[in-house]
């Protein structure tokens, strides 16, 4: 009888199911659509701004509401509390995201065309790293902005971390931070890849169990008592 390690390596070398290949190819569509919509929106609401000021973060740029006027207003507020300007330069980390998403799209198509379970696992690991690093870096940049305040600013506020997800209060402002369509597109891509992985794991275990059931003669002999 084959040991678990041999079974595992044989499982990695199996070709993907046809429907798994189709799902992976289709998963590239929402990943490409992520370039066409914002990933995240941060909104500031205050008595003097009852309708709110918002800024959208894309995979490649930053845009403010009202044709950019909202971003100008937000940066004016940030100046008074000594916070760094929010602009493309401040969020230069976005430069790598289009490249990373493009690589994920190409690798996914490659796995769908000629890949095995092994390449699917590699894609899943890479995807998890890229998406985890992107969100972690986003949090870190917001943390830096709220903690590296100019001590000579006209208004002094305690160091803070801007809200990453949900709502929070800073001075007389309510900050709302929520994902936008591109984040859901990327989430759909990730869920599809993970679903295909789970499908192959479940099917692989069932196939192994069926093989052992139909080949009992290959089971190891029990020691005499």
Q: Which structural domains are found in the chain, ordered by start?
A: 4-214 (1.20.140)
pLDDT at 134: 87
- For Cα atoms 33, 39, 42, give the angle at the middle one, nearest 5 degrees: 155
* Residue 72 · residue 79 · CB < 8 Å: no
Q: Map residue 154 onto helix, strand or coil.
A: coil
What parts of the chain have a pLDDT lower than 70?
1-9, 11, 88, 90, 93, 204-225
- For Cα atoms 38, 43, 49, give the angle at the middle one, nearest 5 degrees: 140
110-167 residue pLDDT tens: 999 988 888 998 999 999 999 999 888 888 888 888 888 888 888 887 888 888 899 9
pLDDT at 123: 93
Kindly report the backbone phi and psi dihedral angles of residue 115, in degrees, each rounded to the nearest multiple of 5, phi listed first. Answer: -80, 165
Residue 43 carries which DSSP code? E
* Residue 41 · residue 189 · CB < 8 Å: no
Q: Map residue 116 onto helix, strand or coil.
A: strand
> What does the alpha-carbon distance between residue 101 and residue 28 come to, in Å, rounded to a whole number?
10
Q: Which two tokens stand for residue 125?
A: 């690991």
Distances (CA, A) of 168 to 44, 47, 58, 202: 10, 15, 22, 42
**C-alpha atoms less than 13 angstroms from C-alpha of 145 in its C-beta half-sphere:** 21
List beta partners, residue 168: 175
């Amino acid at each position: 009888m084959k040991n678990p390690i041999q079974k595992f390596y044989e499982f990695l070398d199996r070709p993907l199911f046809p429907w798994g290949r189709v799902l992976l190819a289709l998963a590239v569509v929402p990943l490409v659509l992520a370039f066409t919509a914002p990933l995240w929106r941060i909104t500031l609401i205050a008595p003097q701004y009852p309708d709110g000021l918002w800024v959208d973060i894309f995979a490649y740029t930053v845009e403010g509401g009202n044709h950019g006027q909202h971003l100008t207003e937000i940066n004016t507020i940030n100046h008074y509390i000594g916070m760094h300007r929010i602009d493309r330069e401040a969020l230069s980390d976005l430069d790598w995201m289009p490249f990373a998403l493009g690589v994920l799209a190409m690798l996914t198509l490659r796995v769908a065309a000629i890949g095995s379970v092994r390449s699917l696992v590699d894609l899943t690991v890479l995807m998890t790293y890229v998406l985890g690093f992107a969100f972690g870096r986003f949090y870190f940049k917001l943390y830096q902005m709220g903690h590296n305040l100019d001590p000579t600013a006209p208004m002094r506020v305690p160091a803070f971390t801007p809200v990453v997800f949900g709502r929070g209060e800073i001075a007389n402002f309510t900050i709302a931070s929520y994902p936008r369509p591109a984040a859901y597109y990327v989430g759909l891509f990730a869920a599809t890849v993970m679903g295909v992985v789970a499908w192959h794991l479940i099917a692989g275990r069932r196939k192994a169990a069926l093989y052992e059931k139909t080949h009992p003669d290959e089971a190891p002999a029990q020691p005499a008592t």
